[in-house]
Amino acid sequence: AVGLTLALIIFNDHEVDNAKVGSKVLFHCAGIVVLTLIINGTFTRNVIHMLGLDQMTALKKAVLRNAYKQLHDEEERMMQVLQTDRFLSDSNWELVRRYTGLDEPLPVELEEKSKDDDPFAAKGTLPLLDSTVSLRAALNTETDDIESIEEKACEDARITALKALKGSFWHQYEEGVLSNAGVRELIQLTDDAIEMDSKLVGREDIIKFLGVQPLAQWFHKYKLFRPAASWFIEKRLSKGIDIANAYVEAIEHVTKAVADNTLIDEQIILQLKKEKEEVSRRLQETCQEKPAIACAIKTRQAARNILNHERNQLLQILKDGIMEQVDVDVLVKNIEDQMKRLTKAPRSMPPPTPQDILEGVQWFRESGTDTQQKLRGAAALKQFAPDDTIMVMGDESNGIYLVVSGIVRIQSPTVMEYLGPGQIIGELGVLTHSKRMANAIAHTHTQMYFFAAGDIKQAAAFCEQLAAGLWRTAGIRFAVTKLAKQAKFQSWGQQKLKRYCENA
């Protein structure tokens, strides 16, 4: 188009000899345009197909089929809901099906293929990232270069995993859980990893934010420079803890959402879990090394999360038309004032005492004064040295542990977690009379409150609030794990899922 325009300009230029130059330039340019349209427009598609450049990878085909099946299943479920609607129940559902039905995105390659051989047929409802199909089954061919296609599929799986992590980072930021600086660093790390071959966002990318430069530590030794050095160290650790928390949360969310028969390669999932374990361990160790700074950071982050959630709730109320803009602005201004006050919060504060941690447990706090007194009397404060065994998988559930200081390592064939102060261990086993589901080992010097199962049951028998609180805590933990695997909730972060369960 540009060449033809320039040829027309030359042709219409009076200073150029049209007979010798202008007409020839226009003729050649117009010929090139015509031949391009005829030849390229006719044969380009065939050439691309012949070179195999329009072929989808096995992984992308499987994702597309799963997406189609998921949409089809959602359509059926939604139709069942609407068929019971008092206003829409007498609709013409045949026409509804006609106008809402989607065409199969990919042709059925082997119609005579039995249902038993079809890797998708027996699955039923398929979340977008779930599949029982193996890579070789998805290829549907014996003549393809298997190793080459497997390599491409692994690369697609790596990028899919990174994009899932990136989506989780954005969701955490939108929910107010992750700071501006934190989300920028994590998104940049993820984008860089996507551009590189065989690269994931790993422990070395995250743990570097939890370290303090030697120069800052050197300045901190001297009284003159200590305030400035303390401010720098706190700011660095605040950003690092924010990033590490978001990273651990994202991997937990992604791995739970695709836990069963995932199209993301199993080796990638295992690698992400190992990276999460190391980052989680280093995060807990950092908080133990700098308890006063870590306590201040956690306090500010908790307050920030609550304020951001309140602001989001107000904006939703405004969107629903329940309140006027002027009324919402008053409350938003109040929240913003609290945000400003939060920036002046202490940069260092004493870590909570064991009694403070106990009173912060929801089921203890809501159990009433008399029951609280009984539980305080029944609680035994136990000490554990590094690598001491706290409980063994398969043993009888003889009580509940509450971590008050130190780090506890939870180990099972499928789980490796590091828990810090305020975390509760073993309540589900006591409630359901089941055996311990994992080993618990002291990773550092650890203090824990221990409540014997008999004392808990005796107190719960006289206090409905305690029993309800224990069941609610265990139920929410179980529900969050299950809901994260459902297609409807795969885009939700852990905090949003917990709020959803809390309000249920």
pLDDT at 130 over 60: no
Q: Exposed, middle or buried: residue 439 (CB in 10 Å: 0-12, 13-18, 19+)?
A: middle
- Separation of first and last alpha carbons in the chain: 61
Of 175-184, 331-340, 430-439, where does the model show the most confidence?
A: 430-439
| The pLDDT value given to residue 63 | 60
Structure tokens at 25: 């330039």
What distance in Å separates the CA atoms of residue 227 and residue 368, rounded to the nearest whole number?
44
pLDDT at 195 over 80: yes
| The pLDDT value given to residue 60 | 63
| The pLDDT value given to residue 382 | 94
| The pLDDT value given to residue 393 | 93
For the chain, the average pLDDT equals: 79
Of 84-93, 353-362, 398-407, where does the model show the most confidence?
A: 398-407
Q: Of the given ranges (78-92, 262-276, 432-446, 472-486), which has the lowest mean pLDDT?
A: 78-92
- Mean pLDDT in residue range 86-111: 56
Give 222-256 pLDDT, tens digit per residue: 888 888 888 888 888 888 998 998 999 899 888 87
Q: Are 168 and 257 in contact (CB under 8 A)?
A: no
Place of tokens 């009379």: 433
| The pLDDT value given to residue 454 | 92
| Type and span of the H or E element at 98 | helix 93-100
Strand (E) positions, 379-494?
380-384, 389-391, 399-405, 408-411, 416-419, 424-425, 439-442, 446-452
Closest CA to 201 of 276, 285, 282: 276
Question: What is the Cβ-side half-sphere exposure of residue 464, based on CA atoms within 13 angstroms?
Answer: 0
pLDDT at 13 over 60: yes
Rounded (to 5) percent helix, strand, coil in the chain: 60, 10, 30
